[in-house]
Amino acid sequence: MTMELRRRYSLLLNTLDVLVVFLACVLVNVNSFIRFRQFSEVENFSTNELDYIFFGTVTVILIVFLLWKRQLLPIYFEAWKNNKSLIAFMAYALISALWTIYLSATLNKLFFLFFSTIVGSYIAVRYGRRGTIDVLTWIGSICSVLSIFIVLFFPFVGVMQNEPFVGSWTGMFWHRNHTGNIFAFFNIIFLFRLLLDDKSTWRSKAVFTFFYILSALIAFGSHSATGIIVFLFLHFVVGLVVIWLKVHQRIKRWHYYASVALLLAGCVVFITHADFFFGLLGRSSNLTGRVPLWLDLFQNYYLQKPVFGFGFGALWMLKSFRILIQIRHNWPYQVYFADNGFFDILLNTGLVGLLLFMFSYLSYGVRSFRQAIRNKSWLYFFPLLTFLYILIGNLTYSFLLEVDQFVWMILIVMIFITTEPKQAS
């Protein structure tokens, strides 16, 4: 092969790489974009749903082709072998189609579950730690520019007009809570680039600083208490990491014990004065009606099918169920999900499904913590911070599989990035 042919061949593969990432990001976010339906029309599988499935299938075919051409298939399959707990959860979600209360919804959700998982594992294997941060930087930059453009020039689309959310920024997404939550994560990516690229040029630093400020403006412009809490929490953790990296050699064991004691004391103060702290954000201690909703869902619905659940992705796809919950809690709009990603997994897949998921999720958390402590590098702290983001972000919002699959895709990326090959015996 001549030099010119090699150059064109390499350019073709790189172009396909960009196309795969673009298609993946559009498809895993498609239900959360403005002017798109929150729920798919799975009864008759309208043209839109068939288009999504078609482009998703094309993307998976391109992924297989790229893995083959780049000779990454053995590495890809080996990474899957080291994530048997994730395979178990995926298999269980698939099997739940046997008892689901809404088969067409479960099949639709399963397609996007497998699609986002394949895409996430591909990004991890193809790009690695540093490359993944580069990919997420581009995604965050594009979303920031598009969102601020929509807010400024199309406010009737990018700013909520309905009570009680009037004036809250949504940007390119469907709801302020979604925008606030996701831009809190994008914001920390730009902060990481400033910390990670300490030898970059002043132009690069200026660009990352610009996007850091822009994403922060969008997060706070959403007026989302969820987004603001996530934003502050992530910055608090980054601050702790900065301090630890500077002084860890001088820290003794009793310092860690004292820190844990202070943290627990802070949690006690927060819980006992919840009304005051939530009042600072203009919210009540029942989390804007979420606590009564959770109690109702647990007592009157989860306990009906506590072990196996209602079927993967099935319950909230039932319009009659959403309206029923709306009436029961006197909400001005349909209740779209439980506003807790872990609780929604429990409802749909039961205790078995949640335990399988948590085993994989917590294993990733332990791995990321150990790798961060061992390597003492911002590159290794990023998966740990993402683990904490997914935890906090899903406590008051359903960012795992209900709204869209973007955060699930990021979770899969981090699971595979932190997966270490097993040592030969």
User: What share of the chain has pLDDT > 70, as a percent?
Assistant: 88
Q: Which residues make Cβ contacts (< 8 Å) with residue 212, sequence separation at least 6? A: 187, 190, 191, 194
Report pLDDT for 43: 66
As a whole number of angstroms, the distance between CA 81 and CA 421 comes to 9
Other CB atoms within 10 A of residue 415 CB: 27
Tell me the CA distances in angstroms from 395 to 38, 227, 241, 392, one per residue in order: 20, 11, 23, 5
Tokens 């983001």 map to which residue? 389
Report pLDDT for 247: 86
Position with higher pLDDT, 174 vs 263:
174
The tens digit of pLDDT for each residue in 83-133 reads 999 999 999 999 999 999 999 999 989 999 999 999 999 999 999 999 999
Other CB atoms within 10 A of residue 240 CB: 11
Report pLDDT for 424: 41
Number of H helices, E strands in the chain: 16, 0
Other CB atoms within 10 A of residue 256 CB: 10
As a whole number of angstroms, the distance between CA 59 and CA 49 comes to 15
Helices (H), 176-283: 176-196, 202-221, 225-247, 253-272, 274-280
Closest of 400, 411, 423, 406 to residue 368, by C-alpha: 411
Confidence band of 420 (pLDDT split at 50, 70, 90) = confident
As a whole number of angstroms, the distance between CA 242 and CA 236 comes to 10
As a whole number of angstroms, the distance between CA 399 and CA 410 comes to 11
Q: Residues 214-228: what's their mean pLDDT?
A: 94
Report pLDDT for 37: 62
Q: Which of 10-19, 251-260, 355-364 has the highest mean pLDDT?
A: 355-364
Contact 422, 78 (CB under 8 A): no
Q: Per-residue pLDDT for 217 more than 50? A: yes
The tens digit of pLDDT for each residue in 331-384 reads 888 888 999 999 999 999 999 999 999 999 999 999 999 999 999 988 999 999
Tell me the CA distances in angstroms from 137 to 42, 124, 125, 133, 390, one per residue in order: 34, 15, 18, 6, 18
**Number of residues that make up the chain:** 425
Structural domain spans, the chain: 10-417
As a whole number of angstroms, the distance between CA 1 and CA 239 comes to 52
Report pLDDT for 259: 76
Average model confidence (pLDDT) across the chain: 88
Report pLDDT for 425: 37
Contact 418, 383 (CB under 8 A): yes
Report pLDDT for 132: 95
As a whole number of angstroms, the distance between CA 244 and CA 236 comes to 12
Q: Per-residue pLDDT for 23 more than 50? A: yes
Contact 55, 27 (CB under 8 A): yes
Q: Residues 129-151: what's their mean pLDDT?
A: 95
The tens digit of pLDDT for each residue in 386-419 reads 999 999 999 888 888 888 899 999 999 999 999 9
Q: Which residues make Cβ contacts (< 8 Å) with residue 314, sequence separation at least 6? A: 100, 101, 102, 105, 106, 109, 348
User: What share of the chain has pLDDT > 90, as a percent?
Assistant: 63
Lowest mean pLDDT segment, chosen from 14-23, 85-94, 131-140, 162-171: 162-171
Q: Per-residue pLDDT for 235 more than 70? A: yes
pTM score: 0.93
The three-class DSSP label of residue 134 is helix
Closest of 34, 35, 32, 40 to residue 403, by C-alpha: 32
The tens digit of pLDDT for each residue in 302-318 reads 999 999 999 999 999 99
Q: Residues 73-90: what's their mean pLDDT?
A: 95
